[in-house]
């Protein structure tokens, strides 16, 4: 899902959570909102590592090209290629955040934002007919080991 979509839906979701649970306040809603799209920082970091370039604009365009190229492949061909390993998209970061929330409660708001983001990504994968990724970072690493890298 594109960052703009995550931004818009994340804002709507955070306002909805604030409406249902006003005790979280603007602070909690703000953390939920920010974490619902800033989780995608790992996509940018992946680009920086792979391309050795820090341009946010080039990273965005690189991901768009990769996305379009992957969408043009048949489902069978798509499943032969590995996706990037994005370390914030999975259950493992949620577990770490949960443990950190015992030290600092607002990490629970980050979990809510991350979870909303991951659910939206999974819905998009289903809608687009892609395989379901982003459940476990470790599982994705093991699963992608034998797959080909999609070149751009």
Tokens of 10: 């994340």
Structure tokens at 1: 């899902």
- The structure tokens 């070149």 sit at 151
Q: What is the DSSP string of 80-112?
A: TEEPP--TTSSHHHHHHHHHHTTT-TTHHHHHH
pTM score of the predicted model: 0.90
Helix, strand, or coil (residue 150): coil
- Work out the average pLDDT over 4-29: 98
Confidence at 43, pLDDT banded by 50, 70, 90: very high
**48-95 pLDDT per residue, tens:** 999 999 999 999 999 999 989 988 988 888 777 767 778 999 999 999
Strands, E assignment, the chain:
81-82, 148-149
């Amino acid at each position: 899902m594109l960052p703009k979509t995550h931004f818009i839906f994340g804002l709507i979701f955070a306002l909805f959570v604030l409406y249902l649970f006003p005790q979280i306040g603007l602070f909690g809603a703000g953390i939920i909102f920010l974490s619902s799209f800033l989780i995608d920082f790992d996509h940018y970091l992946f680009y920086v590592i792979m391309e050795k370039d820090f341009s946010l604009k080039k990273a965005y365009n690189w991901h768009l090209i990769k996305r379009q190229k992957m969408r043009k492949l048949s489902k069978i061909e798509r499943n032969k290629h590995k996706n990037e390993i994005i370390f914030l998209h999975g259950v493992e970061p949620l577990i770490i955040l949960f443990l950190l929330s015992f030290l600092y409660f607002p990490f629970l708001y980050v979990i809510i934002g991350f979870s909303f983001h991951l659910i939206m990504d999974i819905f998009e994968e289903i809608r687009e007919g892609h395989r379901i990724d982003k459940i476990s970072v470790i599982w994705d690493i093991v699963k992608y080991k034998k797959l080909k890298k999609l070149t751009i």
